[in-house]
Amino acid sequence: MANDKRVVRSDLWLDPVFDARLAQERDVSLGVFTVRGAPAAAWDLLSLAHVYHVSAAKDELPREWFVSGELLARCPQLLAVSSSGAGYDTVDVDACTAAGVAVMNQAGGNAVSVAEHTLAMMLGISRRMIECDRRMRREQGFTREDVMGHEIHGKTVGLVGLGHVGSRVAALAKAFGMDVIAADPLLREGEIVRRGARSVTLDQLLAQADIVSLHCPRDATTLKMIDARAFARMKQGAIFITTARGGIHDEQALVEALRSGHLAGAGVDVWDREPPPLDHPLLAMDNVFASFHIAGVTHECRRNVASMAAEQIAQVLAGGRPPRLVNPEVWPRFEERRARLLA
């Protein structure tokens, strides 16, 4: 790593377009460390890094390589942290801001894939496709009417969050003839309308929606936001879907809402622990469409996100401001550090 500007990433899988894009920068070098088995070599790379491209997969990346206060203290030349996804659960943003380190994510890069997965869950649960598939594999003698579902046409979908993903879900839902309502405290009513939804409060959304779908970030304001009270406010026979982040909904409260029959079904792509244990009660329910945080795991999405990340890193190292800056308040100090460290 003899070049002036040093980028480091782990050996967890990443689309090759990331390395190829950075290789086009003549003054940027890329180092790759193994997450298991060679910590000294990893620290040798990280301690000299200007940018650390960190995996956003909290249950795949060993905690030693999370961006914590301890890691920042051992990496005095670190200017920026680049998350491998829209989320940044592996990054202590406050610690980065205090250290003058910019945090970048890839918000929007997964929007198409996650929106498609959300619609697939809506259809799969509403039409009882997953339940029918499972029963056909283990039993005979049931009738088609035993697994009769509902059309989503004409139903109301409530989107909690109307950012990159939520806006795309709104467009797809409208194409299926659905009524779209949304609650997003970060957007004015006019902007929510412009993005294809009718603006409501969260309580109104829970009470009115036939399908409630989460598309909000996980932070201090949303942790366990969808709890037992929230599930109780949902319509009898409603469907709950989340492709957002584990921890925004209370898993045990969801179990109880399904067991009681209050909810007709659920689509769960994100979990408190990923993957969930095999004895998780949600996995035993035929009316639950379970997936392993794969809504954004498509070839197209992974390639798009890796390309976005590399482009943003190159832009920052060339003196630009990243378009997806998570902690904008760090910028004045970051610029001072960048001028000094890359002089």
Give the per-residue pLDDT at 70.
98
Q: Is 233 a catalytic residue?
A: no
Three-state helix/strand/coil letters over 6-64: EEEEECCCCCCHHHHHHHCCCCEEEEEECCCCCHHHHHHHHCCCCEEEECCCCCCCCHH
Q: Are residues 45 and 136 in the same domain?
A: no
144 and 231 assigned to the same domain: yes
pLDDT band at 137 (very low <50, low <70, confident <90, very high): very high
Q: Is 181 helix (H, G, I), strand (E, B) or coil?
A: strand
Alpha helices in 241-330 (DSSP H): 251-259, 299-317
The mean per-residue pLDDT over the stretch 273-288 comes to: 96
Same-domain status, 245 and 258: yes
Same domain, 308 and 273: no
100 and 115 within one domain:
no
Q: How many C-beta neighbours within 10 Å does residue 233 have?
A: 16
**Claim to verify: residue 89 and residue 122 sit in the same structural domain:** no
| Active-site position among 195, 215, 245, 337 | 245
Same domain, 204 and 164: yes
Residue 343 has a pLDDT of 84
Domains of the chain: total = 2
Q: Which residues contact 50 (CB under 8 A, 6 or more apart)?
A: 5, 6, 7, 77, 78, 79, 80, 317, 341, 342
What pLDDT shows up at residue 156? 98
Which is catalytic among the residues 280, 293, 302, 338? Answer: 293
Is pLDDT above 80 for 2?
no
Here the CATH number for the domain that contains residue 80 is: 3.40.50.720
Question: Across-strand partners of 158?
Answer: 181, 212
Q: Is the pLDDT of residue 17 over 60?
A: yes
pLDDT digits (tens, 9 = 90+) for 65-102: 999 999 999 999 999 999 999 999 999 999 999 999 99
Q: Are residues 137 and 259 in the same domain?
A: yes
**pLDDT value at 22 more than 90:** yes
Measure the CA–CA gap between 2 and 71, rounded to whole angstroms. Answer: 22
- Kindly state whether residues 147 and 265 are assigned to the same domain: yes
Q: How confident is the model at residue 3 (pLDDT cuts 50, 70, 90)?
A: low
Catalytic residue (one of 256, 274, 311, 335): 274
Please name the residues in contact with 113: beta carbons below 8 A apart, sequence gap of 6 or more: 295, 296, 297, 298, 300, 301
* Domain containing residue 317: 5-107+299-341
Residue 219, pLDDT score: 87
Compute the mean pLDDT over every residue in the chain, rounded to the nearest whole number: 96
Q: Quick one: pLDDT at residue 1? A: 47
User: Strand 102-104 and strand 156-160: pairing?
Assistant: unpaired
Say whether both 75 and 195 belong to one domain: no
Q: Which of 290, 308, 333 is the last residue of a domain?
A: 290
User: Is residue 262 flagged as an active site residue?
Assistant: no
Statement to judge: residues 116 and 100 lie in one domain: no
Q: Can you give the pLDDT at residue 169?
A: 98
Q: Is the pLDDT of residue 110 over 80?
A: yes
- Mean pLDDT (whole number) for 156-177: 98
Please check whether residues 176 and 152 belong to one and the same domain. yes
The pLDDT score that the predictor gives to residue 197 is 98
Q: Is 188 a catalytic residue?
A: no
